[in-house]
């Protein structure tokens, strides 16, 4: 049997970086499912997006770290085992992803493809006509390695998030979406600018330096 030594070296290097990553260790210490929780925390602290009583939709939610952070923001004085917030939830969190994740107290989870009409209808049913304060999207496609194909997939997810936000956000609401530098970046920034009054880019310190990811933050919908 032939062994791909290059692949083994890459996997070994990734595992070493992962287990020694201070953000991974901090996530484990504070009971978060992933280091990604700190990305949303940094974005929140920079733009003051979340407060109890809000309706928030978490797209691309698995494994649930962003929903965990939101859950704690909506019940800041109550903590359970491992630091997980429990008890009365002051607000609404609806999470959605293709992949399942372990339940989070008070968080409504929908499993499915956000690009399918039936899944969008299910999400709208859960909202029951309520406008959304903030949409957060950590959605990312499976990358093929073909630049043009990957750019199209990334742009499609951004377009889906913006379309949903345009139709469901409060006028002063916000959208946070992950984007990658590359062919999709400039078109997605332009789409954000055509949709929101204020558009900011933000690279959290907890995002790996070598990662091309950054986040677009759209604040306040433009009047149509």
- Could you check whether the bond before residue 194 is cis, i.e. omega within 30 degrees of 0? no
Q: Is 97 annotated as a binding residue?
A: yes
Is 178 a residue of the active site? Answer: yes
For the packed helices 147-168 and 117-127, what is the interaxial angle rounded to 10 degrees? 30
Coil, helix or strand at residue 177: strand
Q: How far lies 67's CA from each of 77, 93, 94, 180, 193, in Å?
A: 17, 7, 8, 22, 27
**Beta-carbon contacts of residue 118 (< 8 Å; ≥ 6 apart):** 112
| 185 within 8 A of 150, measured Cβ to Cβ | no
| 56 within 8 A of 76, measured Cβ to Cβ | no
**Beta-carbon contacts of residue 123 (< 8 Å; ≥ 6 apart):** 57, 94, 96, 110, 114
Q: Is 209 annotated as a binding residue?
A: no
Q: Is 14 annotated as a binding residue?
A: no
Q: Is 64 annotated as a binding residue?
A: yes
**Beta-carbon contacts of residue 80 (< 8 Å; ≥ 6 apart):** 86, 87, 105
Out of 6, 29, 39, 178, pick the active-site residue.
178
Q: Is 150 annotated as a binding residue?
A: no
> Residues forming the annotated binding site for S-adenosyl-L-methionine?
64, 66, 97, 113, 138
Residues contributing to the annotated binding site: 64, 66, 97, 113, 138
Positions marked active-site: 178
């Amino acid at each position: 049997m032939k062994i791909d030594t290059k692949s083994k070296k890459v996997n070994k290097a990734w595992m070493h970086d992962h287990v020694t990553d201070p953000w991974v260790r901090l996530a484990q210490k504070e009971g978060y499912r992933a280091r990604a929780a700190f990305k949303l925390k940094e974005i929140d602290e920079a733009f003051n997006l979340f407060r109890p009583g809000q309706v928030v939709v978490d797209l691309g939610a698995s494994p649930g770290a962003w929903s965990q952070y939101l859950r704690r923001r909506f019940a800041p004085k109550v903590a359970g085992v491992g630091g997980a917030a429990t008890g009365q939830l002051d607000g609404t969190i609806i999470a959605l992803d293709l992949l399942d994740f372990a339940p989070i107290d008070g968080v409504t989870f929908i499993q499915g493809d956000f690009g399918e009409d039936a899944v969008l209808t299910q999400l709208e049913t859960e909202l029951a006509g309520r406008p959304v304060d903030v949409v957060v999207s950590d959605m990312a496609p499976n990358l093929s390695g073909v630049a043009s194909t990957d750019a199209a997939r990334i742009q499609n997810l951004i377009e889906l998030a913006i379309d949903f936000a345009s139709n469901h956000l409060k006028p002063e609401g916000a959208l946070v979406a992950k984007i990658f530098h590359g062919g999709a970046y400039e078109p997605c920034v332009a789409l954000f600018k055509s949709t929101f009054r204020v558009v900011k880019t933000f690279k959290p310190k907890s995002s790996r330096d070598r990662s091309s990811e950054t986040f677009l933050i759209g604040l306040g919908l433009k009047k149509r």
